[in-house]
Amino acid sequence: MHMKWKQAAIILLDPDDPIINMDAYAWKQRYAIPDRRCFTLPHASGCKVRGFTPITEGCLSFSDLKTKLIIVSHGLPEGISIARKTSDAVAVSGWLEQWGMREAGLIAFRGCLLGAAGFLQDLATMIAARRMGVGWLIGYRHKAHQWRGTWHECSGPLDKRLRDLSGGMSKYSDDYRVRIVQGNRSVTPGVYSRRYQLETLV
């Protein structure tokens, strides 16, 4: 699959959760992301997470405005949920700073409801306040799940119904499925994408 971004990385935030693990591996496979660009928090058992590198201080220092960061976790409208503990935009921006991110073209959250309220806008504000840069942030407006074990992920009942009716060939419009927030850097992917243009902001 041709990527709109020069490089991608995955951050797996809940390796103890089998659903989150499955999603992270699906995105890793979809974009053929090498192990050295797939990062994870520690597993509670201490076991190595196959195909993923432990998150360390500065591990995202390679990221630039041509990078897509995929963050996989559970989510709530107010923030990322790990083991039933919610972390808001202030906490998440602190993680990104600690992990060495200075810039990213796109931060794509693969977790339920993170685009349902103000989390993405708050995070964009905090990233700028910490003197980092991001082109775009995106998150699902609804509960999300992998469609029939494929690479496709549904966001909300209307999207699922359309995917079922079309055999996965169609999906519902972006303004229903996701929230897209522009960050503090002007970024357009290397391959034209109507999604990441000023007029698509929702």
**For the chain, how many helices (H) and strands (E)?**
5, 12
Instruction: For residue 154, tell me if it sits in a domain.
Output: no
Q: How many domains does the chain have?
A: 1
* Per-residue pLDDT at 151 exceeds 70: no
Instruction: For residue 161, tell me if it sits in a domain.
Output: no
Instruction: For residue 67, tell me if it sits in a domain.
Output: yes
The residues pairing with 169 across neighbouring beta strands, listed in sequence order, are: none
User: What would the two tokens of residue 102 be?
Assistant: 């200075």
Q: How many CA atoms lie within 13 A of 18 on its CB side?
A: 0
Which pLDDT score, from 0 to 100, does residue 124 have? 98
Residue 196, phi then psi, degrees to nearest 5: -100, 65
Mean pLDDT of the chain: 89
Which pLDDT score, from 0 to 100, does residue 200 have? 38
Which pLDDT score, from 0 to 100, does residue 155 have? 87
Edge to edge, what strands does the sheet with 53-54 contain? 53-54, 38-40, 7-12, 67-72, 103-110, 133-140, 178-182
* Per-residue pLDDT at 199 exceeds 90: no
Mean pLDDT of 124-131: 98
CATH, residue 27: 3.40.50
Q: What is the pLDDT of residues 37-76, one digit of tens each?
A: 999 999 888 888 999 999 999 999 999 999 999 999 999 9
Which pLDDT score, from 0 to 100, does residue 197 have? 58
Question: In whole angstroms, what is the distance from residue 31 CA to residue 110 CA?
Answer: 14
Contact 110, 70 (CB under 8 A): yes
Instruction: For residue 168, tell me if it sits in a domain.
Output: no
CA dihedral 11, 15, 18, 24 (to 10 degrees): 20
Instruction: For residue 196, tell me if it sits in a domain.
Output: no
Instruction: For residue 13, tell me if it sits in a domain.
Output: yes
Mean pLDDT of 132-153: 86
For residue 85, the SS3 value is strand
Edge to edge, what strands does the sheet with 85-87 contain? 74-76, 79-82, 85-87
Mean pLDDT of 129-153: 88
Confidence of residue 137 (pLDDT cuts 50, 70, 90): very high
Which pLDDT score, from 0 to 100, does residue 147 have? 76
- Is the dihedral angle over the CA atoms 32, 107, 84, 176 positive or is it negative? negative
Which pLDDT score, from 0 to 100, does residue 47 have? 83
* Per-residue pLDDT at 198 exceeds 70: no
- Is the dihedral angle over the CA atoms 87, 93, 94, 96 positive or is it negative? positive
Instruction: For residue 160, tell me if it sits in a domain.
Output: no
Query: How long, in residues, is the chain?
Result: 202
Q: Using a pLDDT cut of 70, give the percent of the chain over it.
A: 90
From 74-88, 141-155, 182-196, the region with the lowest mean pLDDT: 182-196
Q: What is the pLDDT of residues 180-194, one digit of tens each?
A: 999 999 987 655 456
Instruction: For residue 39, tell me if it sits in a domain.
Output: yes
* Per-residue pLDDT at 142 exceeds 60: yes
Which pLDDT score, from 0 to 100, does residue 188 have? 77
Range of the domain at 182: 7-146+174-187
